[in-house]
């Protein structure tokens, strides 16, 4: 006789595989089509994320590179190249943090903020409208709810991996 719990778990894992594959596809198509929406402004989706993070009121005085990396959930190394290109283009500035000279604060320049608010953001909002075509407010609310729930679980996995990795390294010899 077949175990119904085993069948249910198999079905759950098949569904999980489909869900994560669709997330992977969404991330890839977001990068491709999102970049297309802003590329003639000389921007990429990575820069779009940085603009969005730095344009929040809480970031008005700037964010450290570490804070920005944590907010965007990327490594400092991955962020460094994006920030370097944005600074060279005059979109952002970085300066030593007055509270901690080892840290640098990143903030939008006046021209960077103008580019974001006057040119990029209207295009991005148009992109969002197209991407969410057929979604009700309720649909979008539920999607955000479930993505946040998934994100919380994946952040817990990440934190556990960091703890396990740190604990595993202590007893090892070089």
CATH of the domain at 45: 1.10.10.10
Mean pLDDT of the chain: 91
Q: Both 59 and 95 in a single domain? A: yes
Q: How far apart are CA 27 and CA 8, in angstroms?
A: 28
Span 48-65, average pLDDT: 95
Query: Quick one: 128 and 147 in the same domain?
Result: no
User: What letter would DSSP give residue 55?
Assistant: T
Residue with the larger pLDDT of the pair 163 and 107 = 107
Query: How far is residue 51's CA from residue 5's CA, in Å, rounded to a whole number?
Result: 47
* Residue 161 within a domain: yes
* Domain match, 53 and 19 both: yes
Task: Count CA atoms closer than 13 A to 46's CA, side-chain side.
Answer: 13
Which helix (H) or strand (E) segment is 105 a member of?
strand 104-108
Per-residue pLDDT, 83: 97
pLDDT of residue 173: 36
Are 43 and 106 in a shared domain? Answer: yes
Clarify whether residues 84 and 151 are in a common domain. no
Q: How confident is the model at residue 170 (pLDDT cuts 50, 70, 90)?
A: very low
Domain with 146, as residue range(s), is 136-169
| Distance (Å, whole) CA 93 – CA 153 | 34
Mean pLDDT (whole number) for 56-72: 94
Residue 50 counted as domain residue: yes
- Say if 1 falls within a structural domain: no
Identify the H or E element spanning 107.
strand 104-108
Extract the tokens encoding 151.
Answer: 């994100």
Instruction: Please say whether the beta carbons of 106 and 83 come within 8 A.
Output: yes
- Six-digit token string for 104: 């640098």
Q: How many domains, in total, are found in the chain? A: 2
What is the longest distance spanned by two Cα atoms in the chain? 70
Per-residue pLDDT, 174: 31
Which residues in 33-42 are b (16+ Cβ under 10 Å) and which e?
Answer: ebeebbeeee
Is residue 3 in some structural domain? no
149 and 69 share a domain? no
Q: In which residue are the tokens 């407010």 written?
A: 137
Least confident stretch, 131-135, 140-144, 169-173: 169-173
Summarised one tens digit per residue, pLDDT across range 112-124 is 999 999 999 999 9
Beta bridge partners of 93: 107
């Amino acid at each position: 006789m077949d175990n119904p719990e085993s069948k249910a778990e198999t079905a759950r894992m098949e569904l999980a595989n489909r869900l994560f594959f669709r997330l992977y596809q969404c991330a890839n198509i977001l990068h491709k089509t999102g970049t297309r929406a802003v590329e003639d402004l000389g921007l990429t989706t990575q820069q779009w994320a940085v603009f969005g993070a730095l344009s929040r009121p809480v970031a008005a005085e700037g964010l450290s590179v570490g804070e920005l990396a944590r907010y965007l959930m990327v490594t400092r190394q991955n962020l460094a190249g994006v920030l370097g290109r944005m600074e060279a283009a005059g979109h952002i500035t970085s300066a030593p943090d007055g509270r901690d000279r080892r840290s640098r604060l990143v903030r939008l320049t006046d021209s960077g903020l103008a580019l974001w608010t006057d040119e990029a953001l209207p295009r991005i909002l148009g992109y969002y409208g197209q991407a969410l075509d057929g979604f009700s407010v309720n649909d979008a609310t539920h999607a955000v709810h479930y993505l946040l729930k998934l994100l919380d679980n994946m952040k817990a996995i990440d934190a556990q991996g960091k703890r396990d990795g740190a604990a595993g390294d202590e007893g090892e010899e070089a």
